[in-house]
Structure 1
Amino acid sequence: MKPEAPERTPLAFRVRPQPAEGFDSWLDRIVRRHETSRRTLFRYLDVDPDLANYDLARGKLGLPARHHATFDGLVAGLGWAVDVDRDAVMDGFAAGPAHWLLPLTLRRYGCACCWSGLIAEGRPLYIRKDWIWSASWWCHEHQLPLSVMPAWDWPRREGSLAAMLGRLEAAAREIVRAARPTARLIAYNRAVIEFLRKGDDGVTPQRYRRYVETIVANRFHFSSERIRLLALRHSSGAQPARRFERFVALSRSELAKEGRGFFRRPQPRVEGIDIEAAIDRPRRGRRWEPDLPMLLQTYLSIAQRAEARGEPLGRPAGPGDNYGFYRSMNSASAQKWTNDRGPGGLGWQNRPQKPGQRDLGSLP
């Protein structure tokens, strides 16, 4: 006779969702606290473990119809396991198109001040649902850019977590000082985040959707300097950031044709974010610009590795692709380009200077 299966019991640790916490953040905290995996947790809850292969940040919106019943079982099982109602679980899901979210591995940005407050209250660090959007880069409560979340086991590896968060906060304030994002564009971003929080009702002004699509299309998340680029993009001196987003949008044949001259021409404004910036007065003082040559070297290295595999950046080679352009732009030539643009380099004396303007020696 087959022995009866042991009766299931709630989870040993009642890891409950925090206010405004994203579902993925909560699920990751449950898994870490019980030192297990998502698949093992789902099996324990009598849920198909294959559900762990999907991005669950949007709930049913991110799942094929055949998994909707399984998903309902997951929501009910998690609520039972940690003793919370269904609404508390459902509040963690984002509502919007998948491409409006950051890639899964990049959903680790948050506010250092918010995290410091959680530590002071003895609460765990977590990622808010509002922070996983591509358009999210600013904490409107503390008026600071977001930072990358420290590793969950940081105190055991590096010492005081509070001290680390203090350094992140100082770095965020330095970004504000250097990039000087405008109050008008920050307020505009706040309206967009509120639009994302409520969900697209089809009635909200189209300019909010255009703003989100612009941020998604600029591919700033390709760079480790994502927050700096977004801060600059929301300032009066957004030209270098616009060059970057135009660069990643070019095809290989266009890159070969445009060459270096592309970065010396003013880039067209984008409706939505740039129209809002146009009515701001030019800010005074020193203008900060990101190290775009370093970003370009990284992008070109990725392209070369992809081409070596036969699929440049994940797509089949086209008839107009010119691989020689990438080979010519290796790290040595890119560094030479940077040196030429610096003080004493080629073209330095010919670059126009405004009275009182400080040339940072990167891109024009």
Structure 2
Amino acid sequence: MTVLALEPQPLAFRVRPQADECFDSWIDRVAAAHETTRPALFRHLGLEAAIASLDLARGTCGLSNEQYFAVYQVIGQLAWAVEIEVQQIEGTFLNVEASVVLPRRQRRYVCPLCWQQALRDGRAPIIRKEWILRMSWRCQVHALPLCALPVADGAMSEQAVGSWLSGAVARAESLRWKLGAHPRLVEWNAEGVDTLVRASRKRFKGEKKAYVDRFQANLFHFAHDRIAMLALAHSRVGKATWGFERLVALELPGRPGREVMTLQPPKLPPRRWRISKGSLRPGSHDAGVLDLVLAYAHLRVRRDAQTQVEAQFGRFPS
């Protein structure tokens, strides 16, 4: 018996990308409309399911030649499946460096007021391209801090979405009221985000350049509340976040020494002397996070040992 392979068919629901919608938001809406997953959707269209694991938020930017042609085939097949032009799908991509885009699992920040308005107008709520940038933390339309969508198994019901949006608006308004943003920093942020979205080659100078260099590829997504940290950094007490920024920017050694296992403090290099007058000033050693942890652990071991000795033999007079 001969089994004939079925030819791929266009999708039943023509879910088209909206203006300024990012690729992940659109492809997830396509999969949700057909009650399936992204890999299963790709298999249905005759595409390799492994391509679904690629980060396509930036389109073909930064891909190898093999990946470039594979992704270009995906774009053409998706455009055929929903009966739109290829340019409409390419409009969902960001032509930026990977360092300025949030990690894939972190791209769930939205403006609750934008979502409420979309639901009232009968439109599907989306995630805009600017909201997946690391330096984006407020809605440019409503001047409201963004909120992270709740992580839920499966699609949320309309009632659950409405309830969450009401609470999200209240929390965002409270954050905006507590941490008044500095007008100049807000203006620079909007200009920097717009430059990235439009892939402009505009160059900044002076303090504005220093601001863009600081926030364009920031690491605030490592914080417990990314939006609150960014709001604090853009307030008049923004220096309060400098300690966190320095901490997450520290580089740990690629190959820790044996001291990691023995909890011994790191050995200092031999002291340098010179034959002429005096001695050289001791070199400055930049302590990394691992050095601090090892030093603390070594002192803790010594203190615990001393406490145990005192408990057994009593405290010796100094």
Q: When the two structures are superposed, what TM-score results if normalisation uses the length of structure 2?
A: 0.75
The RMSD of aligned alpha carbons is: 2.8
2:91 partner amino acid: D
Summarize deviations over 1:51-74 as a string: whole Å, max 9, x none.
Answer: 122111000004221122221211
Summarize deviations over 1:226-245 as a string: whole Å, max 9, x none.
Answer: 11111111111112112211
1:134 aligns with 2:104: no
Q: 1:34 to 1:155 in 2, by over 3 A?
A: same
- Asked if structure 2 preserves the Cα contact closer than 8 Å seen for 1:9 and 1:81, the reply is yes
Q: 1:319 to 1:165 in 2, by over 3 A?
A: closer
Query: 1:105 maps to which residue?
Result: 105
Q: 1:241 to 1:23 in 2, by over 3 A?
A: same
- Asked if structure 2 preserves the Cα contact closer than 8 Å seen for 1:218 and 1:244, the reply is no
- Asked if structure 1 preserves the Cα contact closer than 8 Å seen for 2:45 and 2:77, the reply is yes
Name the CA distance, whole Å, in 2 between partners of 1:123 and 1:234. 32
**Tell me, what secondary structure is at the counterpart of 2:96?**
coil
**What displacement does 1:216 show?**
5.1
Query: 1:281 maps to which residue?
Result: none
Query: 2:293 maps to which residue?
Result: 323
Q: 1:240 to 1:130 in 2, by over 3 A?
A: same
Q: 1:324 to 1:77 in 2, by over 3 A?
A: same
1:102 partner amino acid: L
2:215 partner amino acid: I
Query: 1:154 maps to which residue?
Result: 156
Query: 2:23 maps to which residue?
Result: 23
Name the CA distance, whole Å, in 1 between partners of 2:62 and 2:209. 20
Identity of aligned residues (%): 36
**What displacement does 1:75 show?**
1.0
1:134 partner amino acid: R
**Tell me, what secondary structure is at the counterpart of 1:59?**
coil
Q: 1:229 to 1:43 in 2, by over 3 A?
A: same
Name the CA distance, whole Å, in 2 between partners of 1:249 and 1:329. 26
Q: 1:252 to 1:48 in 2, by over 3 A?
A: closer
Q: 1:29 to 1:62 in 2, by over 3 A?
A: farther
Name the CA distance, whole Å, in 2 between partners of 1:246 and 1:68. 36
1:136 partner amino acid: S
**What displacement does 1:325 show?**
4.8
Name the CA distance, whole Å, in 1 between partners of 2:17 and 2:299. 49
1:186 partner amino acid: V
- Asked if structure 1 preserves the Cα contact closer than 8 Å seen for 2:100 and 2:217, the reply is no
1:65 aligns with 2:65: yes
Q: 1:186 to 1:322 in 2, by over 3 A?
A: closer
1:43 aligns with 2:13: no
2:20 partner amino acid: A
1:171 aligns with 2:141: no
1:195 aligns with 2:195: yes
Name the CA distance, whole Å, in 2 between partners of 1:232 and 1:141. 20
1:205 aligns with 2:216: no
- Asked if structure 2 preserves the Cα contact closer than 8 Å seen for 1:217 and 1:245, the reply is no
Query: 2:239 maps to which residue?
Result: 239
- Asked if structure 2 preserves the Cα contact closer than 8 Å seen for 1:181 and 1:236, the reply is yes
Summarize deviations over 1:32-60 as a string: whole Å, max 9, x none.
Answer: 22232222222222223221221110000
Query: 2:117 maps to which residue?
Result: 117
Q: 1:53 to 1:163 in 2, by over 3 A?
A: closer
- Asked if structure 2 preserves the Cα contact closer than 8 Å seen for 1:134 and 1:212, the reply is no
Q: 1:179 to 1:325 in 2, by over 3 A?
A: farther
Summarize deviations over 1:73-112 as a string: whole Å, max 9, x none.
Answer: 1111111111111111110000110010011100000111
**What displacement does 1:326 show?**
6.0
Query: 2:308 maps to which residue?
Result: none
- Asked if structure 1 preserves the Cα contact closer than 8 Å seen for 2:42 and 2:49, the reply is yes
Name the CA distance, whole Å, in 2 between partners of 1:247 and 1:92. 34
Query: 1:81 maps to which residue?
Result: 81
Q: When the two structures are superposed, what TM-score results if normalisation uses the length of structure 1?
A: 0.66
2:170 partner amino acid: A
- Asked if structure 1 preserves the Cα contact closer than 8 Å seen for 2:31 and 2:38, the reply is yes
Which is higher, the Rg of structure 1 or of structure 2?
2
2:104 partner amino acid: L
